[in-house]
Every structure is written in structure tokens, then in C-alpha cells.
Chain A
Amino acid sequence: MAAKPGAATPTYSPKLVGRSRLPIFKDSDLDWTRPDGRGFHQCRPALLQTGAVSSASGSAYAEFGNTKVIVSVFGPRESKKAMTYSDVGRLNCNVSYTTFASSTLGQGTDHKEYSSMLHQALEGVIIMETFPKTTVDVFALVLESGGSDLSVLISCASLALADAGIMMYDLITAVSVSCIGKSLMIDPVTEEEGCEDGSFMMTCMPSRYEITQLTITGEWTTPNINEAMQLCLDACSKLGEIMRDCLKQSTSASDE
């Protein structure tokens, strides 16, 4: 579960190319830095690992900075509830937090909002026709919450689905951006999320260049949205490559 010592953890910071306008601010204009000392367009190192849970059909562990999540996929298996006949499969998602996930004392509970957001992000990418009458369960546990939890959950879930061999059109990756004042910060940590003016999260299929989910809340200007979109698309495709490498490594390791 822990990072292998010595092996450099890859990151997926985007690069803006061919931008048609000047940046809104220059680095020298800033009188403050991010809590973990990253650049504004720099992502946290992404550690990904498949096969974290042996009893699941597929599973993945993701560690992005202090955000640590495990996702298990069970099925396709018999639908538990007595439901009407359906030609296509069903997807069931659940996200829960540990009691020690955040530093403020709280009860670890099911997170209904993230459960449904995860479902919405995944349902567009899974080929439901391949498992009619059955259910695929995607269960996630946030071990430690360090910001951008939902985007890490979505990326990790798509990796777990791939590990379980569930048919998908493509891997999906999610990246979020926070807007504070004039500046855009990619992959925000908890402190930044707490004082943001607006948040932006994009889930896309990097190889197909298609978006499955886009959430924009708070105060945004059109140029800011455009810039955030550019940043996320580039970061998503880079994260997709990291995930692909992770899957390749796990299959080559199991072949040996």
C-alpha cells in the first residue's frame, strides 16, 4: 500500500499551449503561495495501485498528497433488490468516510452527495449492455481527506473498474480547479477548498476527448472558465497516461 521507496511518483500537471490571450496574472503579482508550496498549475503527485483488496473483483488505491482512497468493485452480480427486468446492467455506488478522515472530529458516514456524483460520472462510461440483469457495485472508502476528494474518487473508481474487467468506453479521469480571487488553483487541498470563491470539476474520457461530467459552482467569469477547462483537459489526459501505465504494470506483474 505504501509508496515504494526510491520510485518517483508521477504527477500530471497541465501545460497551457497555444493560449490566445495573456495570463490573467503573472507569478510575480502574487503575494501568497499555496499551503503545500506548489505552483498554481502544479498537481500533487499521484500514487495509484490496483489490486488493493483481494476479495473484490477489482480494486484500486489512490494517494494524491494527503487524500487517500480505496475503491472496491464487486460484480457483475445478482441484483439484491427485487427490481423489474432490465436489458441493461445496473450500477450501484457508495462513498463513505472513515471517522479519522479529516482533522475535525466527526462521525464517519456515508456521503450521499458524493455517492450520486460518482454514479453520474461513471454511468456514461460503463457499457451497461455487457452485464444485463446484474449489478456492478462500486464502493469507496476515503481513508484520509486532503482536498479534491471527489475527483480522486472518480479517477480511482475508473481504475478499479478496469481492474475488475468491466467493459468501459475509456478510462475516465477527473480534475478539479478552485478559483480564489483572480487566481485559479488546480487540484486544491482542503484549506484552499475552504476559502474558494468557485469550484470547477471536470470528468472526461482522455482518449476520446469527451466529457462525462462537468460541475461548476460559485463565482466564475467566462475567461476563467475557459482557462480552467483548458487546464483540466490537459491534466486529465496526463492523469489518464499515469493510470494506463499503472494498469500495464499490474498486468505485466501478474503475467510473470
Chain B
Amino acid sequence: MGLPDSSQDLTSEMEVDAFRRIFPLRFFERHLSESLRPDARPLDKARDTIVNLGLVSTADGSALAKIGSTTMLAAIRMEVMTPSTESPDEGCIAVEFHMPPICSPIVRPGRPAEAAPVISKRLSDTILSSGMIDLKELCLVSGKAAWMGYLDIYCLDADGALFDAALLSAVAAFSNLQIPVVALNDNGRIVAISDEKEQDNASIIEEEAVNKEKRKLTLKNIPFSLTCILHKNYILADPTTEEESIMDTLVTVVLDSSDQMVSFYKSGGEALAYSSSIKSCVELARKRAKELKEILGEMDVD
């Protein structure tokens, strides 16, 4: 470890870093031609994924999902509402995606990120159209009372593939959701019952309770998604922010647990999606769905 050696190392490192900043596209293409990405991943590999359940004590269900350093915190609060006349025996779910200023240098307070409402809408569409949740399960008294679920997803750290991480955290939060105990009182109103109260006058409640014990929703057709970048004839799975900013053609495939396609989304961008590349994207998404299913499965055991 002589002094001249180490200083030489430093200059070569500096040059790589400068090259990366000045010619980002060429820097990436040099990597891609070696079938490797700057963070040492193969092209088709997603980053390490972690899911934690039940971190927010004020919510009825919550989950934290981390894909690489992209971090999402999802929480669900349940509230009783009067169902609409068109669907008297169905509950409702409202999805909101937030990008607070802490998550990324491009978001400033007072000026919400452009991406947030887009992701919010796509999440809401995906969750409702996948048939994961049977809205009839959220009904309490037909035509009178049903559950309204408020799902709020906060991006705590934005480093690419925001939709994937947000959807994963949302699904995990639903798997953690415990529907609170409520009862119908004399005035025909729904009241919440806390745990202590329940023990005090258990006999009275047993007759009136609409939702007798804390229960979980049955989730079927759980949607899993994978975002890929199309660049020339390369396909990069699970991109980081840097990759997304340099190569701008994104394709998101959402599959459910039985490998049925739920949604397919290609934003604009330079590259066109040919059927061959679409097929490979779907194939990658299928592999990824299997991985995510295992990760969620491990959580359910606890």
C-alpha cells in the first residue's frame, strides 16, 4: 500500500465517476454490453426485497416494503360509511399515494410531484380491478352500513420502480389488515367496541355485534408487478432512479397469483415495444411474481 499506488487508484476512480456523470448513456451501454449493471446486478435481476408488517399502531393494517433502497409505508384505516344506492351491499376502498418532500431531491414542499397522482390512479385501478378484495366482504348491514378503507401509501425513499414497491406495500398492508369489532346500538347506529369494553359487557354485545371478532380479509388473485426498462434490445428489470432518468421507456406488467395478466402499462419513451420484448417482460414478471409470493408467504407464517 505505497502512497503513489493509492493516489493512482484515486485518479482512475475519479475518471470513472466523471465519465458516469458526463456520458451517462455511454457509461450504461458499456455495462449493458457486458450483461451487467453498475450495481453488479444481471440485467434481469430485481433488487433485494424486504417486507415488514404492522409497524403503524394507529392504523388497522400497515406494511413497509423495501425494494433496494426504494421504501414504501402503507397503512389502512377503516371507517364505517353508508354505501351508495347503486351497490348497497358493497364497501369501498380509497387509495392515495403520497410523495412527501423527504423522499427525493426533486420533490419540494407545496409542489407535489407529478408522478404521485399518476401512480395513485394506477394503484387504485390495479387493486380494484384485480379482484383481490371482494367488496361485498366489507358490507356490515346491507344498504345501511359498510366499511370504507382508506389506504395511504407514503414513499419514504424514492429510488426507482415506485409502482412496484407501492403495490407490494399495499398488498402486504391488506394481508395485515384486521377489521375492527363494531356493534349495532339501539339507535341503529354502528359503534366501535374497544377490547376492554368487550370483556365488560360481553353478553350484551354478543347479540348486537355485527362484526363479532377481529377478522382478516380473504385475499385472492393477489397482484404482483414488475417494471422493466426497454433500451435498444436490452431489457432491464427493476430499474433504479438513475437508470430511469437515463433510459426512459418503462414497461410495467402486473400479474396475479394465478399468472393471469391484470394490467400492462407502457409509458411513452423512445423505444417501441415489440411483441418479442413484451413477451420477455411478461416472462420476467412471472418469475418476479413467484419471488414476491414467497416473500409474502414467509410473512403470513408469523
Contact = CB atoms under 8 A, between A and B. Distances in A.
Interface of A: 1-2, 52-56, 59, 66, 70-72, 74, 77, 80, 94, 96, 98-103, 105, 108, 110, 137, 139-141, 143-144
B98 A108 contact: yes
Contacts of A55: 69, 103-105, 157-159, 241
Contacts of B109: 94, 96, 110, 139
B75 A100 contact: yes
Given A55-B105, A141-B102, A141-B154, 19 more contacts: A2-B52, A55-B158, A70-B102, A70-B156, A72-B102, A72-B103, A77-B105, A96-B109, A99-B75, A99-B150, A100-B59, A100-B62, A100-B152, A105-B77, A110-B110, A139-B109, A140-B102, A141-B156, A143-B56
A108 B152 CA distance: 10
B142 to A, nearest CB: 25
Contacts of A77: 105
Nearest to B158: A55
B79 A105 contact: yes
Contacts of B243: none
Interface in B46-60: 52, 55-59
Nearest to B150: A99
B101 interface: yes
A132 B44 CA distance: 45
A241 B14 CA distance: 37
Given A108-B98, A110-B109, A54 B56 contact: no
Given A96-B109, A98-B75, A139 B100 contact: yes
Given A80-B108, A101-B58, A52 B157 contact: yes
A222 B157 CA distance: 46
B241 A2 contact: no
A144 B102 contact: no
Interface in B64-93: 64, 69, 71, 73, 75, 77, 79
A141 to B, nearest CB: 5
Contacts of B108: 80, 137
Nearest to B73: A143
A102 B58 CA distance: 6
A53 B100 CA distance: 12
Contacts of B71: 1, 53
Nearest to A57: B105
A1 B64 contact: yes
B244 interface: no
